[in-house]
Amino acid sequence: MAIRTLAYFYHQAWLSIKRNKLMSFATMMTITVSLFIVGAFLMLVLNANYFARNIQQSVEIAVFLEVDTPREVTLDMQERIQSISGVIEATLVTKEEGLAQLNERYGQDHDLLASLGGENPLPDYYVVKVASPEFLDYVTNTIRKLESVNKAEYGQEVMDKVFQLVQYIQWIGVMIMLVLCLLAIFLIFITIKLTVFSRQKEIKVMKYVGSSDGFIRAPFVIKGGILGVVGALWADIFLLASYYFLSHSVQDAVGFITPINDVTLITQVLVAILVTGFLIGIFGSNLSIRKYLKV
């Protein structure tokens, strides 16, 4: 394509935007708002997955032995647990250490051991770390079969509820993102269609003198692409500023929640929004002009 022809297409696109300033601005701002919300839900879904994955990776199995288990059996249990496939570490917490932890946390004004009649009722227990979350069920079930083990658990019910909540967030986020993208396409469609309608006689003349569909369509498609990209760019700016403000606020308020701060991933999201805006603009433009090319 000749540079002069390309320059003509861009000139016509900008001319169309200037002639329809109010509608073009309204469309651009709607795309900005729509893609900002799409980006916000996308970051919410990504953070929900990140949070769930961090929880899953930090889960430890608590293995409680029988209260009357002899110490030599307790010590021997460590080697047996660590020999299970998927276990990377098994840390023993003796009943004395367990009581000391309780006394430090709750017994500042009381001697817990004296309150318990001088007898420590706590069992020895192990804190078991696994190589990956996929080993949790297997390792837990294997440990439960070992002699002298009273209970082994890792909070499966809580984990299931967390992952179920993440799935709900994912589905809701995807549905809202789809609806907003369709809304943006519709607005681009309406804007370009109004422009095309005002120039339908000119388009018919161009068709009759032999202009190709591509030649007629190009300025409108470029206009849609420009509106989509500019709207997406503003959405990126607002999203980036809002995300960093909210992520720091959340981290300061709730210390155990760490939002995603991977620059590469955030950049990929911003680029995806730009590409989405561009594609929405082109798709909406093509949709609106198709009818008027049939002469």
Distance CA 172, CA 163 (A): 14
Q: What is the pLDDT of residues 266-290, one digit of tens each?
A: 999 999 999 988 888 888 777 777 7
In the chain, where do the E strands start and end? 61-65, 87-93, 125-130, 149-153
Report the mean per-residue pLDDT for the chain.
Answer: 80
Tens digit of each residue's pLDDT (9 = 90 or more) over 130-175: 888 778 889 999 999 888 898 888 877 777 777 787 778 778 878 8
Q: Is the pLDDT of residue 295 over 70?
A: no
Domain range annotation of the chain: 3-56+160-293, 60-154
Q: Does the pLDDT value for residue 84 go beyond 80?
A: yes
Tokens in use for 151? 């209970």
Quote the pLDDT of residue 271.
94
Compute CA distances 57 → 53, 94, 130, 134, 135, whole Å.
6, 25, 9, 10, 11
The winner for highest mean pLDDT among 4-8, 185-189, 237-241, 254-258 is 237-241
Amino acid at 125: Y
Q: Give domain 60-154's CATH number out of 3.30.750.24, 3.30.70.3040, 3.40.50.2300, 3.30.70.20.
A: 3.30.70.3040
Residue 98 has pLDDT above 80, yes or no: no
pTM of the complete model beyond 0.85: no
